[in-house]
Amino acid sequence: MDLQRNIKYMALAMISLFGSLVFAVDPPSGVSPIGGRWYVKAGDKPVYYYLDGDQFVDLFSYHSQDSNKDGIENVRLSHDKEFLIVESQGYPNHPTAVYPNSGNPNSIRVQNFTFRLPLVPKLADKITRLPMGPVGTALNGVVFFNPFEMEGMNAVEGYSEVWLDSCCGHPQQTGVYHYHKYPSCVRSPFKDDGKQHSPIIGFAWDGFPLYGPYESDGKMAKDLDSKNALDACNGHSDEERGYHYHVTPGRFPYILGGYAGVVEPSNNRGMRRAGTGALIDNTQPGDSMVDKVITSVRPGAASRGKSHKIQFELDPSKALRRPVPSGVPTWAQIGPFEAKSIEREGNVVTVEVDIPVESTLGVLLDCHLEFASTGGRGGPVVFKKNYVFRVIE
Question: What distance in Å separates the CA atoms of residue 54 and residue 210, rounded to the nearest whole number?
Answer: 17
CB burial class (10 A; 0-12, 13-18, 19+) of residue 179? buried
Q: Is residue 85 part of a domain?
A: yes
> Does residue 103 sit in the same domain as residue 170?
yes
pTM of the shown model: 0.91
> Does residue 305 sit in the same domain as residue 226?
no
Give the domain range for residue 319. Answer: 294-392
N- to C-terminal Cα separation, the chain: 33
Q: Is residue 53 part of a domain?
A: no
Pairing of strands 169-171, 177-179: antiparallel
- CA dihedral 387→165→184→45, nearest 10 degrees, is 180
> Does residue 158 sit in the same domain as residue 216?
yes
End position of a domain, from candidates 242, 264, 285: 285
What's the domain count of the chain?
2
- Residue 143, CA atoms < 13 Å, CB-side half-sphere: 28
> Does residue 381 sit in the same domain as residue 258?
no
> Does residue 161 sit in the same domain as residue 278?
yes
- Single out the residue of 283, 249, 280 nearest to residue 181, CA to CA: 249
* All residues at 6 or more sequence positions from 326 whose CB lies less than 8 Å from its CB, including other chains: none
pLDDT digits (tens, 9 = 90+) for 318-372: 988 789 999 999 999 999 999 999 999 999 999 999 999 989 999 999 999 999 8
Question: What distance in Å separates the CA atoms of residue 65 and residue 74, rounded to the nearest whole number?
Answer: 6
Question: What distance in Å separates the CA atoms of residue 333 and residue 349, rounded to the nearest whole number?
Answer: 12
> Does residue 212 sit in the same domain as residue 338?
no
Q: Is residue 37 part of a domain?
A: no
Q: Is residue 188 part of a domain?
A: yes
Question: What distance in Å separates the CA atoms of residue 317 and residue 323, rounded to the nearest whole number?
Answer: 8
CA of 78: how far to CAs of 6, 85, 115, 272, in Å? Answer: 33, 5, 11, 25
Q: Is residue 5 part of a domain?
A: no
> Does residue 261 sit in the same domain as residue 313?
no
> Does residue 123 sit in the same domain as residue 267?
yes
By 3-state DSSP, what share of the chain in percent is helix, strand and coil, each rounded to 5? Answer: 10, 35, 55
Query: Can you give the pLDDT at residue 158?
Result: 75
Q: Is residue 102 part of a domain?
A: yes
Query: Can you give the pLDDT at residue 16?
Result: 39
Q: Is residue 278 part of a domain?
A: yes
> Does residue 98 sit in the same domain as residue 167?
yes
> Does residue 225 sit in the same domain as residue 173?
yes
> Does residue 100 sit in the same domain as residue 162?
yes
Can you give the CATH number for the domain in which 327 is found?
Answer: 2.60.40
pLDDT digits (tens, 9 = 90+) for 164-199: 999 999 999 999 999 999 999 998 888 898 999 999
Q: Is residue 130 part of a domain?
A: yes
Question: What distance in Å separates the CA atoms of residue 205 and residue 86, rounded to the nearest whole number?
Answer: 11
Query: Can you give the pLDDT at residue 211?
Result: 98
Are 227 and 211 within 8 A, CB to CB?
Answer: no
End position of a domain, from candidates 285, 307, 326: 285
Identify the segments of the chain with pLDDT beneath 70: 1-24, 286-287, 374-377
End position of a domain, from candidates 258, 285, 312: 285
Query: Can you give the pLDDT at residue 163?
Result: 84
Question: What distance in Å separates the CA atoms of residue 117 and residue 203, rounded to the nearest whole number?
Answer: 8
> Does residue 201 sit in the same domain as residue 349?
no
